Structure 1
Amino acid sequence: MEQVDVIIIGSGQGGVPLAADLASEGKRVVLFERDRLGGSCVNYGCHPSKLLLASAHAAARARRAARLGVHAEVRVDFPAVMQRVRRVRDQMSSGVGRRLEKAGVRVVRAEARFTGERTVEGGGLTVTAPLVIINTGTAPAVPPIPGLEGTPYLTNLTFFELNELPARTLVLGGGYVGLELGQGLAQLGSEVHVIEMAERLMPTEEPDVSEVLHAALEADGVRIHLGTRAERVAHENGRFSVALSNGQTLEGEALLVATGRRPNTPALNAEAAGIELDARGFIKVDDRFRTTAEGVYAIGDVTGQPAFTHVSWEDYRRLMAVLKGEARRRGDRVLGYVAFTEPQLGRAGLTLEQAQAQGYKARAATLPMKRVARAIDLDETQGFFRLVIDEETERILGATFVGYEAGELVQLIMVLMEAGAPWRVLEQSQLIHPTLAEGLPVLARQFTQ
């Protein structure tokens, strides 16, 4: 057994900067990674999907340009699209390796498991340390549908290895992953069917968000099946057949399973280290990232936090501060996220319903995109801006933006929320005409009425 200063399990967007920073301070750091360096974001999530969507959205916008009097013939070279995805992905993953090497981190390319208190084994190496950090993330949750196991179905882990565009693609799940990749394939030329058990797409979002996205996907040719589930899967001669609970059977050359996430904890042997998991298998932590085992911390979505890269990276910043004795907490931030559908969904903080459930005297204002001059100029009038405020303190509690580049705009609200600024700051602001952001003061002025 070897004694080191720090053990890190997982090379995601929190684990890598932690390893690099701690090693740069002169600590002996060992990082275990069983898969590609960089975690989900670099290899299977954020960047590969957005690389794909860059091509898909370019094709869709070229077709839509006819609305502006511009007529284009669009030809998609799908193998070239996927080659670019993998080339840039591989460059990013290699860059992570170079960063760790430069910092002096010892990388063990093997699955890690606890064998005792702050003792980890993997790849024939057993190490112990006073500080252990777990950043193992999550993986696709595959439902136990009869006939599914053993078929070449896709998840986000395997999707980006596609070389040929499927003529027909069946997508199980109408959440963020299913809609982004499903719409992307439709824009690239596949016939896409989305199957969602709930009565609307993105069922965790507000109903009018679902309505806007439903209309947009249908406009791209996506066929949507709501309130139904897959009851049986068959695969024969390169073709999937999915029997639905409504009696319908769908066929396709590809099947994408995007039905949720599960924590990467089964292989950890957490019990051996005294680390408690919750009923779903996520690691239990307090507001300073401490697990139930002394000296062991966990960050990112393996703790049940939202599965977003910026959350994991901000966990890294907070944990570094905690280790230095500073008064940072896991929850001392404004949560925001984006779904990169077209149009985009940008969210920050609370919805009106969530705010009222928490006891706020909350009020919301909504501005349709068709009232924003720049959106009219671009002919991108799908969606709306929505702001939620606390009438007692005048602080901004949240925002829901659906529309063209909504992900860029919602971050203006996040900055105001982080600063604790009242909504009147936005209402009194003079923003540049004609821009999409110019609509935000107009939105806030509704609270003066």
Structure 2
Amino acid sequence: MARVVIIGGGPGGYEAASAAAQLGAEVTVVDSDGIGGSAVLTDCVPSKTLIATAEVMTEVEEAGELGVRLDDGDGDTVDPANSVRVDLSVVNKRVKALAAAQSEGISRRLERDKVRLIKGRGRMDGPETVVVGDERLAADVVLIATGARPRILKGSEPDGERILTWEQVYELEELPERLIVVGSGVTGAEFASAYDALGSDVVLVSSRDRVLPGEDADAAAVLEDVFKRRGLTVLSKSRAESVQRRGDGVVVTLTDGRTVEGSHALLAVGSLPNTDDLNLAESGVSLTDGGFVQVDRVSRTTARGVYAAGDCTGVLMLASVAAMQGRIAMAHALGDAVTPLDQSTVSANVFTAPEIATVGLTQAVVDAGGSTGLVVKVPLSDNARAKMQGVRDGFVKLFCLPNTGIVVGGVVVAPRASELIHPISLAVGARLTVDQVAQSFTVYPSISGSIAEAARRLHLRN
């Protein structure tokens, strides 16, 4: 029976543990911070739970357009946008309860799979041994899945009260009066969108010329227009130099000397891998200059029998990718059928309002000449269901190869885009043509009908 030791209990670790147990291995998971890792306890699950409340508030704000009114009890009606408030203490209590329940559920599943769970900090002592306290665990296979942590700006140390990382916001009892979000990547944009919907005055500090610099430019433009329409302030080309506490507020100093004052600041300036003090290099595991574990497409490191998965590898830092890396690692290590990680089929989502979902080929690659692709964009303003729901922002974009018409990518900007991207992901993964997508029935009326419409329009260009 193969002995598998996994350091880290996040998605890469717990999914690998289940896969290895299913393949008959003796599995031990060493974890210090709680099963589920940051994805479950401090990142994905908590943030998306908070955003779920923000989504309701966004719908309430726009409900007046659909004819919805609230009765004030005296026979008068009021616009819901001006009469509904959020109790952040209740929201955050629910956030933490759901995260804890999810963690407990994963732990129970691992225990049913007869996976041994050890609480503690593991480190390697050569490629075949993991040390936890006084215990030495012999291993035929080791998986490093230790995740990452928020990057901190020098001179801007969080205090957990006014200067916060995304791991600390769930301790707030009251809604920030004026929240300054430093960083306009995915995390910064998501929290800016959420707190704006919850009722905070939000300032988003972006060092680039637009929000979401790594995402589709058309999608980012839609989101920035929505931000401005809702009163959210975006400071473009404004790099933060420091964030400091001042009484009951904060002051963000920009590199050009300007200052921005607020009640709270949220740092969202990237992540650092949790690879310190693991004895990796001494055990033959190569790291990048940034401290990420170097892996190939089947999650192998440079040390024989040692694999790595998740954010500590720096490969598309998504929970879904971490889980896939972990499963691939165990399949490869234990002799099961293996399909190497194909980044061109990975779907991702930005949980703003509206959401931005993507898969496969990007507009930036096409524009730079890195790939030949045909593209069409269908605005949701043409979609009947969108009109019925009062949705006026967003679009569906499809990419296909010339001549063959094979779908190689897509972008959806819409409410619940995370659900709408799946048919495009299936098309990309299965190498379906635009004709095959177009000939599949969609419900009328539906937002997904715009996916078929985009496919039909691409048929004319082949």
**TM class, shorter-chain normalised?**
over 0.9
Question: Deviation of residue 28 (structure 1)?
Answer: 3.0
Comparing 67-76 with 368-377, which one deviates more in the overlay?
67-76
Question: Deviation of residue 440 (structure 1)?
Answer: 1.7
Assess if the C-alpha contact under 8 Å between 1:238 and 1:253 holds in 2: yes
- 1: CA distance between counterparts of 2:327 and 2:262? 45
- Give the counterpart letter for 2:178 in structure 1: R
**Partner residue in 1 for 2:101:** 91
**Partner residue in 1 for 2:360:** 349
**Partner residue in 2 for 1:405:** 416
SS of 1:267 mapped into structure 2: coil
SS of 2:179 mapped into structure 1: strand
Question: Deviation of residue 106 (structure 1)?
Answer: 2.1
TM-score (norm 2): 0.91
**Partner residue in 2 for 1:60:** 58
**Where in structure 2 are the equivalents of 1:162-173 lying within 5 Å?**
162-173=172-183
**Partner residue in 2 for 1:34:** 32
Question: Deviation of residue 370 (structure 1)?
Answer: 0.5
Match status 1:241 vs 2:251: yes
Assess if the C-alpha contact under 8 Å between 2:300 and 2:329 holds in 1: no
Change in 2 beyond 3 A, CA 1:332/1:404: closer
- 2: CA distance between counterparts of 1:24 and 1:335? 25
SS of 1:280 mapped into structure 2: coil
Match status 1:381 vs 2:396: no
Assess if the C-alpha contact under 8 Å between 1:381 and 1:403 holds in 2: no
Change in 2 beyond 3 A, CA 1:124/1:217: farther
**Partner residue in 2 for 1:445:** 456
**Partner residue in 2 for 1:47:** 45
- Cα deviations by residue, 1:64-84 (Å, 9 ceiling, x for unpaired): 111112232212111111111
- 2: CA distance between counterparts of 1:249 and 1:293? 48
- Cα deviations by residue, 1:168-189 (Å, 9 ceiling, x for unpaired): 1111111111111121112112
Aligned residue pairs total 445
- 1: CA distance between counterparts of 2:393 and 2:23? 50
**Partner residue in 2 for 1:294:** 304
- Cα deviations by residue, 1:295-331 (Å, 9 ceiling, x for unpaired): 1011122222111111122223323332324242122
**Where in structure 2 are the equivalents of 1:119-134 lying within 5 Å?**
119-134=129-144
Assess if the C-alpha contact under 8 Å between 1:182 and 1:194 holds in 2: yes
Assess if the C-alpha contact under 8 Å between 1:180 and 1:339 holds in 2: yes
Change in 2 beyond 3 A, CA 1:317/1:243: same
- 2: CA distance between counterparts of 1:358 and 1:30? 47
- 2: CA distance between counterparts of 1:358 and 1:98? 50
**Partner residue in 1 for 2:157:** 149
- 2: CA distance between counterparts of 1:349 and 1:7? 33
Assess if the C-alpha contact under 8 Å between 1:24 and 1:104 holds in 2: no
Assess if the C-alpha contact under 8 Å between 1:4 and 1:127 holds in 2: no
Question: Deviation of residue 333 (structure 1)?
Answer: 6.3
Runs of 4+ in 1 over 6 A off after TM superposition: none
Assess if the C-alpha contact under 8 Å between 1:183 and 1:220 holds in 2: no
Match status 1:433 vs 2:444: yes
Structure 2 runs not aligned, ≥5 long: 69-78
**Where in structure 2 are the equivalents of 1:247-258 lying within 5 Å?**
247-258=257-268
Assess if the C-alpha contact under 8 Å between 2:144 and 2:309 holds in 1: yes
Match status 1:187 vs 2:185: no
What percent of counterpart residues are identical? 33
Match among 218, 222, 230 for residue 240 of structure 2: 230
**Partner residue in 1 for 2:71:** none
- 2: CA distance between counterparts of 1:23 and 1:412? 31
TM-score (norm 1): 0.94
Assess if the C-alpha contact under 8 Å between 1:8 and 1:30 holds in 2: yes
Change in 2 beyond 3 A, CA 1:50/1:171: same
SS of 1:14 mapped into structure 2: helix
